[in-house]
Structure 1
Amino acid sequence: MAVLIDTDVVSFLYKDDGRGASYLPYLSNQLPIISFMTLAELERWTLARNWGSRKRQHLMKYLRRYVVHSTSSLLCRKWAEVVDGARRRGRPIATSDGWVAATAALLDVPLLTHNSADFESVPGLNLISEKGAY
């Protein structure tokens, strides 16, 4: 079994933020996957915070525990469906969140996120969030 992990949860786990602990049970015996978009967001994070090469290398080493799902023509089509569907329902989704949602939908795996409201406009997603638990 596999689970897609949103950027916020990866960040909590990496920074050893207390909110991350509530997501650990969902990762037990699961293949942990992140979207290429999560990797891109974390790369931007290192630039925005002016990280040096040592800190960035530490993050990249940490991220090796996750399978990064890359883009494909199938994922591009799924992203278009997700983003356009959300727009048609009157609840547009951010481009980056659209990629994460499309990845979870394409792989048909649960999405672990602390920001479930960002994905509620995408029908059929299996959202797992512990936001209220913390």
Structure 2
Amino acid sequence: MQVESCRTRPADPGHVEGAVEILANGREIVGKREWDYVDQLWSYLATMVKDLRSRETVSAYYPDQPIKIEFARQGSRVAVASISGDMVRRASVDLLEFESVISAAGELFFGRMSELLPERAESYKLARSELIGG
């Protein structure tokens, strides 16, 4: 289910399950089969977007799986990769477009989750601020 279609409160507000899909140049970097605690994962992605503004390479692991996500600046582009065991999926995309798309998707996610879980709205607000450079 797309986050914007979700109308019901997650059963366990401390462990919101779901997936983030990152497609780059038509290639799936991560998808639905890599589900995890999606609000925690989005928080990690927001921090990575913020940190990429001042670092060449940033990475994080999924909250509850041995899957590593990595963003590496390469001039005006960013290499986006997921590493799971021996499987590496990678693509290079325009840095500004990537940041814009990830930020918009994160804003949508955190906004909807704030409505569904108002008791977590403050922590979602902090994560959203990282997406917009706060």
Normalised-by-shorter TM-score class:
under 0.3
* Structure in which a larger fraction of residues adopt strand: 2
Q: Of the two structures, which has the highest relative contact order with CA contacts closer than 8 Å and spacing of 6 or more?
A: 1
Calculate the TM-score normalised by the size of structure 1: 0.27
* Structure in which a larger fraction of residues adopt helix: 1
